[in-house]
Structure 1
Amino acid sequence: MVSFSFSFLLVFAFLLLTLVVGLMGRKATTFREYAVDNKRLSTVKLLATLLGTSFCGLTFVYPVQTCYSLGIRKMLPSIIDATSLWITSMFWVRMAPFMAHRSIAETIGSIYGTYPRIIVALLSICNAIFKVTFQINVISSIVSTSMDAIHPDIIAVLAALVLIAYATLGGIRAITNTDVLQFITFVAIVFLLAKLMFVKTGKSVLEMVSFLQKQENFKLSSLCQSNGQLLNLLLSIPYCFLALSGPSVIQRVYMCASPIQVRKVFLYGSFFYVLIGLSISLIGLFVFVGNPTLTVKEIWPYIITGMPPFLKVSIVVCVLGMAMSTADSELHLCSILVVHDLRESIRGIKSVSDVHQIRMAKWALLICGLLAMMAAIDYNALFIDDLFKTLSKMAFYTTTFFGCMVPPLFILSVFGFRSSSPTALIGMAAGLLASLVCIQLGYKVGFIPYIVGAVANILGMMAIHYLLPQPAGMGWVGLDPQQKRLQQLADVFRKFKKRIDIE
């Protein structure tokens, strides 16, 4: 373990640097600038904030453990999860009508009306606050594992207060700046840790391959050892399609200057997601090669054993960066949903000054952040696996209910389906009911309740739309003139590039 003075100093220095970077730069003068910036961000910055939001504290800690204990079938999620980013890049033309929006609730509300917008906003807020609570708990747990000289709640509270401070005062620009810092820090530490674990094995690449070929969990045949594993693998394909509509990820779409930039950011993001995800999984693989007899609780103590104090603290800093990068985006999303979607929909007031909207958004972010912090600190986790077991049930219900009600509406909107508000509400109710039936029947693991609920949502909407009378102009709509021009431009560029490559 690391001494109190040295470890606390390094962690405090990182938090202070994050706060300074977050508070630098020009402050937002309009609510749109506070919510999604001025659409002048570079592709590199948008890529960093997209990946920083996609990776969270648990995506660093948990895959190492699961790859060690379950083998190759737990290395696939890094590729599968990246598929949702790639799918988003493929439908960049379809995103054009919604580029001026500020939240996923506004997009759904523009198609299906006020009540679906309110429901989507409430579900997104609950989902976001839970994610923030989750990230603060991960910080507390990794600190307790790596640095016993510091009470874990101290670092968790400091990190929460820092991210609340810069997210409240600086808006999306502060979050973007800190995401760049946190992403660079996290990537550097992940690659360094992977290299150190490779060296710690004391084996060459050929020796490791020969060793892993004898391990059942690292054979390709282990992917289909049971019907349950094969079913989850098959269900992960439609799950990725539905997962492309995560509110904080879609928020990055609205920050892009054009649909063309959306395509670049999400295409590059899918590639780097796979690279980073596999690097994290390799840490667990190298630990297994070095010592295949460890229990789950012994994995991280084994990793940090023998490390210099600086590297031990670097692991904490890595988790801090990833957790804060996800949490600040979720808190910012909460503030936008409260002020822009809930308040505007419930009270029907649109003519509010930018200064007043920004002030309300800051108060909403502050309140949501403090609520999440108090909920997280109330649970004093001791080990990462205990944390995961404790929160996994809440994560399951939150993700399932959100997933069966919100993504289907967004995906249908993107593909040009237009219908009435009652149709959307009935579809959401059908999705929720189908998910509850699946859970009641005992399907509480994997993607089954999520997928079944989403399919029921879509089928319910289709049935109501075509069985009952609908207002004029509803149904499937094609590309508008702007989308057609973008598609033609993309086709011309593709042909030109192909001709250059041939020559």
Structure 2
Amino acid sequence: MISFDAPLCILSAFLLLTLVVGIHFSRKKNTFRTYAVGNKQFATATLVATVLATAYSGGGLARNVEQVHELGLYWIIVSILGDLGLWVVGWLALRMGAFMHNLSMAETIGSIYGKCPRVIVALCSIGSSVTMVAMQVHVMASSIGICIHTVDPKLITVCSTLILIFYSSFGGIRTVVFTDVVQFMTFAVILPFFSWFIFMKLGKPFSEIFPLLQEQDTFQLSTIFHYDMNLIAMVALVLSILASYIDAPILHRVYMSSGPTQARNVFRYAVFFGICINMVICLIGLFIFIGAPEASAVKVWDYIMTDIPPVFKGLLSVSLLAMAMSTADSCLHSGAIAVGHDMLESIRGTKTYPYQLQLTRIASIFIGLFAMGLTFYYSNLLDLLKLNLGLYLPITVAPFILAVFGFRGTSHTVLIGMASGVLTILAWNKWVEPSTGIDGSFIAMAANGLTMVTVHYLLKIMRKYKLSCAKATNYL
């Protein structure tokens, strides 16, 4: 009886610990600025933990294990190189001294390019937050469902989501950060033990594993680095993953830092630990491939759940739940800031307004409830997530990078660039990706940036030409 209820006990203990930590840190009174970015006195180790907790989601764990099993070395290379996206953010952070007083990515873009681009980026942040939170809630439901059978998984999912909404809405970023630390420590400890368990389940020594992998085509370097469409698709996917780290929740950790130097150090450490976490996840996929090479990607988790002790079921459920909640609370917070700070400030035209903090909390609650509702009406949100990322990267990333590097265009320049990014990704997804399998997010982002720069200098040349014509007319 004890072993049968062990997963439920482990899961309940984790949720109770999260709730206690959330309540403890939500008691402190907040101004809107401290609610949004804290007091900017977080320790570097604390910021590293919250960056990793935000970047590595429950959906990412499940997807990486499945893709390593299906694609082998190809996906291992993609996922490891993709971790360098955190280094890219740290590299940008070192140049963000002029923007460290901002509260969001949208505010940074708005301070350079005006109100309309800021509103568009804020809308993208809100849409991305809703989708990402919904995806994580879906993962929470799946992880609970495969491990707990004595209680309705939907009930536990609702309870865990309400806990998530409570502490992230009322406690602000301080509560999100310290619950992220707890959740990061949870999955960072569990994943290596779970990898060891899957290895022991194989019953084979390491000396037999690598020769078996060398016999498989999916683990041959010559197959991966042969110049063909697959290699181009891999490069395009890696570039898209690198750019995907330049999003509102991750950049929010830059604004929480005391300065550019601390932010650079935070992301430098995060790259190292992130690669370690990803290597452990890839090992899980490798061990499962050795144990069940013929299994399809959708059957990977069925293999994991076969003959697994109840305690390990509970630990796996808690690990997935910790990774999902730590990503969801960060997305929930950044979405609420986009509503209460960027959207309403742009509409009102004032820096502060009455009840700003209360409205932001209400926005956080509604984003969380709406995301939770989506999971009950849509069983598969993967296509929606791909669409969201395909539109988010082409619209927001290029203007932000150009702003950080000193490009100062007009609002019209940015709007034209954003439109070109959207048109490029739509055309690419319709005519190019179906036949080549190449992801077009990075290409659309590059089209956005190139269009902005081209239009900016063309307009400058046209203005000089008109001015010279006017002077010549006056002279005559």
Q: Same fold (TM over 0.5)?
A: yes
Instruction: Output the CA distance in 2 between the equivalents of 1:255 and 1:470.
Output: 40
Instruction: Output the CA distance in 2 between the equivalents of 1:22 and 1:189.
Output: 21
Cα deviation for residue 411 of structure 1 reads 0.5
Cα deviation for residue 470 of structure 1 reads 8.9
Cα deviation for residue 302 of structure 1 reads 2.1
Q: Which residue of 1 aligns with 2:251?
A: 250
Confirm or deny: 8 A CA contact 2:398 2:445 kept in the other structure: yes
Unaligned runs of at least 5 residues, structure 2: 464-476
Q: How does 1:44-443 map to 2 (within 5 A)?
A: 44-224=45-225, 227-353=228-354, 356-379=355-378, 381=379, 390-443=380-433
Cα deviation for residue 9 of structure 1 reads 3.0
Q: 1:471 to 1:113 in 2, by over 3 A?
A: farther
Q: Which moved more, 1:134-143 or 1:314-323?
A: 134-143
Q: 1:172 to 1:226 in 2, by over 3 A?
A: same
Which amino acid in 1 is paired with 2:16? L
Confirm or deny: 8 A CA contact 1:431 1:453 kept in the other structure: yes
Instruction: Output the CA distance in 1 between the equivalents of 2:44 and 2:290.
Output: 39
1:400-445 CA-to-partner distances (Å, cap 9, x unmatched) read 1111010001010111111110100011011111111112214158
Which amino acid in 2 is paired with 1:347? R
TM-score (norm 1): 0.87
Unaligned runs of at least 5 residues, structure 1: 382-389, 473-503
Q: Which moved more, 1:299-308 or 1:28-37?
A: 299-308
Instruction: Output the CA distance in 2 between the equivalents of 1:327 and 1:459.
Output: 33
TM-score (norm 2): 0.92
Instruction: Output the CA distance in 1 between the equivalents of 2:462 and 2:53.
Output: 42
Cα deviation for residue 152 of structure 1 reads 2.5
Instruction: Output the CA distance in 2 between the equivalents of 1:208 and 1:230.
Output: 26
1:26-69 CA-to-partner distances (Å, cap 9, x unmatched) read 52421110000001100111000000000111111121111112
Q: Which residue of 2 aligns with 1:385?
A: none
Confirm or deny: 8 A CA contact 1:2 1:147 kept in the other structure: no
Confirm or deny: 8 A CA contact 2:78 2:238 kept in the other structure: no
> Secondary structure, in 3 states, of the residue corresponding to 1:443?
helix
The one of 429, 433, 444 equivalent to 1:453 is 444
> Secondary structure, in 3 states, of the residue corresponding to 1:288?
helix
> Secondary structure, in 3 states, of the residue corresponding to 1:91?
helix
Which amino acid in 2 is paired with 1:131? M
Q: 1:56 to 1:2 in 2, by over 3 A?
A: farther
Q: 1:351 to 1:181 in 2, by over 3 A?
A: closer
1:223-255 CA-to-partner distances (Å, cap 9, x unmatched) read 146733201222245335523421100000000
Which amino acid in 1 is paired with 2:373? M
Confirm or deny: 8 A CA contact 1:135 1:324 kept in the other structure: yes
Cα deviation for residue 90 of structure 1 reads 2.6
Q: Which residue of 2 aligns with 1:16?
A: 16
Confirm or deny: 8 A CA contact 2:4 2:310 kept in the other structure: no
1:364-400 CA-to-partner distances (Å, cap 9, x unmatched) read 1011111111111223x4xxxxxxxx32221121101
Confirm or deny: 8 A CA contact 1:146 1:301 kept in the other structure: no
Which amino acid in 2 is paired with 1:186? F
Q: Does 1:466 align with 2:457?
A: yes
Q: 1:148 to 1:294 in 2, by over 3 A?
A: farther
Q: 1:304 to 1:244 in 2, by over 3 A?
A: closer
> Secondary structure, in 3 states, of the residue corresponding to 1:38?
coil
Q: 1:240 to 1:442 in 2, by over 3 A?
A: closer
Confirm or deny: 8 A CA contact 1:339 1:361 kept in the other structure: yes
Instruction: Output the CA distance in 1 between the equivalents of 2:460 and 2:294.
Output: 65
Confirm or deny: 8 A CA contact 2:141 2:154 kept in the other structure: yes
Which amino acid in 1 is paired with 2:102? H
Cα deviation for residue 100 of structure 1 reads 0.8
Identical counterparts, % of pairs: 39
Instruction: Output the CA distance in 1 between the equivalents of 2:460 and 2:218.
Output: 55
Instruction: Output the CA distance in 2 between the equivalents of 1:436 and 1:78.
Output: 25
Q: 1:19 to 1:446 in 2, by over 3 A?
A: farther
1:112-140 CA-to-partner distances (Å, cap 9, x unmatched) read 00000000000110011000001111111
Which amino acid in 1 is paired with 2:13? A
RMSD (CA atoms): 2.1
